[in-house]
Amino acid sequence: MNALGENVKDPTEDLDYYNAEMEECAEGYMQFVLEQIERVKESCSDPIILIEQKLDFTNYVPQGFGTGDCVIVADDNLTVIDFKYGLGVVVDAENNPQMMCYAIGALNLFGALYDIKTITMTIYQPRRENISTATITKDELLRWAETVLKPAAELALKGEYCAGDHCKFCKISAVCRKRAEYNLTLAQYEFKPPPTLTDTEISSVLDIGDKLVNWVNDVKEYALSEALKGREWEGWKVVEGKSNRKFTDTDIVADVVVHAGFDPYEKKVVGITEMTKRLGRDKFNELLDPYITKPPGKPTLVHTTDKRPAITTAANDFMED
């Protein structure tokens, strides 16, 4: 709990709900952030590292605030990392309005202090095995903010609703009829089995599918918040979610088990980042380089604007034989 040199209390002791998978994902996220910090330190010896940083982009969006999970400032580069635990939608960092707004907020904080030229935006989504990174220049980001973000925010402020990627920043996005009409265009396909759809129809479904899931999740979140205030939705009720058992005091548990003659601890090899810190980069490479591998990621269908190279498909393999 002191990966960045700060002695932080283990939060799991005071949680009403604990999930082992969530802790594992958080550990992976921590290791990923530490790796990015080590990478940045190769060109900047003293980067600024901020965790859970409040970001203000109200100069473009009225009441526009967000929280940057991790912000790294290294001379002419600004890095914003967002941890997403969600499983429903694969989130892409490329042209992502939320990430770009967070980048503007970070730029507002440090733009006057550092000669920032590029901004790197990364989404870490472990439950979908998705790490998406996009890089944009400072000038490109500010141009988008002036020509796209600011006009959209002004329209929303005037009550002139226009559905699009900017909807996530609107206070009434969950109940906005324009957004509902925009997303419900999928209904034209009448939920046909995928093999019966034409190629054009499938492309259309893929284009709007993620937006539809986001909208449904926003509606569900709104409905839950209202239900917790006493509002009732026909056919729906609020129940207690799944919870896992946990120890009330791990130190006492360890003492009890030890006195009973058993070993309450488990041993495991530390992660790559921690091992590098312990051994030093040179010794790490000397001893362990032959034992490092990076398996291919799970195949994921993304839009052609994604910068990652396309993998060879089974059809291409057949044609090459």
Region 9-36 average pLDDT: 78
Are β-strands 118-125 and 77-83 bridged in parallel, bridged antiparallel, or unpaired?
parallel
Q: How far apart are CA 114 and CA 239, in angstroms?
A: 50
Check the CA dihedral 134-137-141-143 and report its sign: negative
- The rounded mean pLDDT for the chain is 81
Helices (H), 83-198: 97-110, 138-144, 150-158, 177-183
Write the pLDDT tens digit of every residue in 90-135. 788 888 888 999 999 999 999 888 899 999 999 999 888 888 999 9
Q: What is the pLDDT confidence band of residue 54, given thresholds at 50, 70 and 90? A: very high
pLDDT recorded at residue 318? 46
SS3 of the chain: helix, strand, coil, percent, to 5? 45, 15, 40
Write the pLDDT tens digit of every residue in 180-237. 666 666 666 666 677 877 888 788 778 777 777 777 777 888 888 889 889 998 999 9
* Domain boundaries of the chain, sorted by first residue: 1-160, 165-246, 258-320
Residues 6 or more apart from 231 whose CB is under 8 A from it? none
C-alpha distances (whole Å) from 185 to each of 175, 200, 293 are 16, 14, 44
pTM: 0.59
- What number does CATH give the domain 1-160? 3.90.320
DSSP secondary structure letter of residue 172: T
Percent of the chain with pLDDT over 70: 79
Region 161-181 average pLDDT: 61
